[in-house]
Structure 1
């Protein structure tokens, strides 16, 4: 008779139960000294509850906390783009040139940031495959409905992890079983098809309710939004556009009535954001029980501890490219909501701690105060080296903007403009300033591309060809700055591989994908390096 030993652990701050090996269950009860106490539970004496089903999925969810961790997905998506830069500072930040390689697009097969994404993704996928194999083998005490529900959720979660890898590395192994078999590599189009087919297949068996029981878990609406993201980038991923399918997926979410644009743009990014009706899918964090969010330590200056009465001292590395900052409308409230700028005030005595300026002379040499800093995610008073904000992985504004982009690309620019104006409306006191036209969205970007001289002027303009739908790309930047997606958006608009910004000049189309790590190539003979890399 098989025996199940009991182990417990808190699953983030949402109250879920994380079982340390992914196959163990939490049993609750009260003390009764007259009861006979057992140190183990047999399958025949145990019936799984909803909390236990949630616990089984935890090992596939918790690795998502790497996103806002050290050189996690945030850096992978933002450091190579035109918004976030990490220059050398008086206290260092050269770090062997790792941030410069991300900015210049001169990474190699040992660059840690993309390797971290690869390793974390496959760790989660392996965890998911293990639990699915246990469910399929009937080794867990689940009834038929529970088996269907947990398998659907795990397959959708696995698809999400593969969507990350499809975007970053493209040509990857599709590991869908828990075995010792050496995986073979699939091309990017095949990976795309796998993700889409998996989501379509499991979607009817995912929960449709949006409440505490599904918070931080994949629902039908998460799956529809992930499908929409895949369709939005289909032309990049598989070479064929899927604009209509993206609109249809977005319409499913819109028609559900479960989500809204919050009146306050900052609501989804606050410390206590669990009740935000704009969040479609969140990654829960907690400074004690669900650690991993330390991106703020890299984004804030050491003396910001006085501004926010922090109990930790930040390190002060990354800041905003002045070219992007200069593109904001002065009346756009998203600017103040996203960036720390100007005088930084001591929370205790009201004195000026420092003054942040919109200049960054060179990636090789910037002062502490050079460059505006990310403030989009609320910094709590007394903030520690780990934050407790839940991360909005998907939010409703993205659903609307995806639909708008697809309408724009299919010749319905006026309809697109209505949606974009709706998204902008909460950010302008003057309603007329929120309105945009289809012609404007079809026009060129307002960002002044080109490399910068030390005085902030354009040193080399580089490729100055007009960007098709460039103004819409600007809208994505203003709405979603610092939301770990800029690289993907820039690639879709053809800017990432053609334009110059700050100290960056284009290095070629091969940089659309990251290289597969040297160690992974050496340990798996079935892997072939992505084109353009040695």
Structure 2
């Protein structure tokens, strides 16, 4: 049975209280109601509520923030196409009024303002004025470090998607100022400095409550940030990517023995591999922005497999993804969980029409069942919600970052270690045993392109693909084509401007400090 680390009822309290005086378009700059804050943050319990509110806002438990981010990461690539909508996201053919990216942007700024408000209310002077004990102050200091991590993570998401977003801070919130715009390189520097500042202020790896960030989460985000530094900052940081991925690797984590266990309804047991998670529970979180989306969205997958109900018939993969595996079933590589069946008509590999949910295989990676295969009891009015926790960071990603950074010339690591880490991933995939040699590759096969393909196999539908393809210069160029890239079935190169999403028109119009990303 899953143990809850946060009392989920806190969510309604904090999210209703904090923005009661704010208008929708200005969540990044208007201060909150002081009386409301004084009431909310009068006790240590109130600060815990505020902390919970930031975690739940990040995870999409109260909105579609992470769901929006996931769709922008996947639907723009070969890993996913969607049945619904105009398909501009899949075609890489959006404009400055792109609704999907605007919603993610607004949700991200909302979360950042929530974090800024918490940090203001937890200042040393404010805590002293409210009469908190030294013990309580020490506990709240840990909360502040976690909120700063969440804020840095949210800013990393905005950096990755938009490059040059609005930059609300504690000062702009306190002074009711219109935020300035921050440029991509400067935002990289800010995120790096924030993460380094709180390194050591969170709890040590694997010692915090499940679902709360610790120092290993900070190192993981730094490793991810540094791997993409040449895209974000124009300067490679592969040495640093090795350093921080290795810090996580050496912190006592290990791969779970069975890859299928990673995305099940009882995956809270995967504490050997999971570094930081979004926690979901069907009896406490009633939202369609959680892992419901990935389990129920997979086209054609029946309730007997996904553990909940009939498919939404929403997502499929392009033919390029099954082509990365030795076969279209998991008999060899157990990560090849492609759904190829359909009760009414044959499901095709090729996608002749994006609007036809039977065109294209989907995957049954996310299943709301336990390790024994039994569906989990539903304790909600919808009778159709997910218990699958989402691993924001897991050890396999750190192995892949280490190996890629070594191959790109980073120092501080070595090829034998990189090969050993990759073969652990493959040993689990081929034999449910990270120490198996069944899926092993040799050193000559360990190339950058192999790492890109292996990451697609290992972390399919986990929200990485767009960022990876950009780093490999394959996202907008003709270097790699997939079905419906550029709006044509065979795929076509597109304008390089699509490596960033536009700053939403609503923010441009309401904030005179902003300029649009190039090309929009």
TM-score, normalised to structure 1, is 0.78
Which of 416, 426, 429 matches 1:427?
Answer: 429
CA distance in 2, matches of 1:329, 1:261: 22
- Deviation string 1:164-210 (CA, Å, 9 cap, x unpaired) is 10100011122221231000011101000000100101111111152
- State the match for 2:163 in structure 1: 170
- On the 8 A contact 2:300/2:339 being kept in 1, the answer is no
- On the 8 A contact 2:295/2:364 being kept in 1, the answer is no
Which of 242, 259, 263 matches 1:265?
Answer: 259
- On the 8 A contact 1:322/1:358 being kept in 2, the answer is no
Matched, 1:377 2:366: yes
- Deviation string 1:22-53 (CA, Å, 9 cap, x unpaired) is 799xxxxxxxxxxxxxxxxx999x9955x654
Which of 151, 157, 175 matches 2:150?
Answer: 157
- Report 1:53-452 matches (<5 A): 53-66=47-60, 69=64, 72-87=68-83, 93=84, 95=85, 97=86, 100-136=87-123, 137-138=125-126, 140-142=130-132, 143=134, 144-177=137-170, 178-179=173-174, 180-211=176-207, 213-257=208-252, 259-276=253-270, 277-290=272-285, 291=287, 292-293=289-290, 294-296=292-294, 299-301=297-299, 304-305=302-303, 310=308, 312-330=309-327, 336-337=334-335, 339-343=337-341, 353=343, 357-364=347-354, 366=356, 368-380=357-369, 381=375, 384-410=383-409, 412-429=414-431, 431-442=436-447
Note closer, same or farther for the CA distance 1:410–1:338 as it changes in structure 2 (3 Å cut).
Answer: same
CA distance in 2, matches of 1:480, 1:390: 15
- On the 8 A contact 2:337/2:364 being kept in 1, the answer is yes
Q: Which has the higher helix share?
A: 2
- State the match for 2:10 in structure 1: 18
- Deviation string 1:378-413 (CA, Å, 9 cap, x unpaired) is 134377443121111111111111111111111754
CA distance in 2, matches of 1:522, 1:229: 33
- On the 8 A contact 1:260/1:278 being kept in 2, the answer is yes
TM-fit CA distance, 1:79: 0.2
- State the match for 1:35 in structure 2: none
CA distance in 1, matches of 2:42, 2:71: 43
CA distance in 2, matches of 1:63, 1:218: 15
Note closer, same or farther for the CA distance 1:364–1:181 as it changes in structure 2 (3 Å cut).
Answer: same
* Runs of 5+ unmatched residues, structure 1: 1-10, 25-41, 88-92, 345-352, 443-468
- State the match for 1:502 in structure 2: 483
SS in 2 for 1:241: coil
| Range that drifts further, 402-411 or 375-384 | 375-384
- State the match for 2:34 in structure 1: none
SS in 1 for 2:179: coil
| Range that drifts further, 428-437 or 471-480 | 428-437
SS in 2 for 1:263: coil
SS in 1 for 2:494: coil
Aligned length: 459
- On the 8 A contact 1:332/1:427 being kept in 2, the answer is no
SS in 2 for 1:326: helix
CA distance in 2, matches of 1:425, 1:141: 56
- State the match for 1:451 in structure 2: none
Larger radius of gyration: 1
- On the 8 A contact 2:326/2:332 being kept in 1, the answer is no
TM-fit CA distance, 1:296: 3.7
TM-fit CA distance, 1:372: 1.8
- On the 8 A contact 2:82/2:316 being kept in 1, the answer is yes
TM-fit CA distance, 1:495: 0.9
CA distance in 2, matches of 1:309, 1:15: 25
SS in 1 for 2:366: coil
CA distance in 1, matches of 2:186, 2:513: 16
* Runs of 5+ unmatched residues, structure 2: 18-36, 370-374, 486-491
CA distance in 2, matches of 1:13, 1:151: 17
CA distance in 2, matches of 1:104, 1:314: 24
CA distance in 2, matches of 1:115, 1:388: 28
TM-fit CA distance, 1:163: 0.6
CA distance in 2, matches of 1:403, 1:193: 21
CA distance in 2, matches of 1:372, 1:389: 22
- On the 8 A contact 2:58/2:150 being kept in 1, the answer is no
Note closer, same or farther for the CA distance 1:306–1:263 as it changes in structure 2 (3 Å cut).
Answer: closer
TM-score, normalised to structure 2, is 0.80
TM-fit CA distance, 1:335: 5.5
SS in 2 for 1:473: helix
CA distance in 1, matches of 2:340, 2:16: 52
Note closer, same or farther for the CA distance 1:418–1:335 as it changes in structure 2 (3 Å cut).
Answer: closer
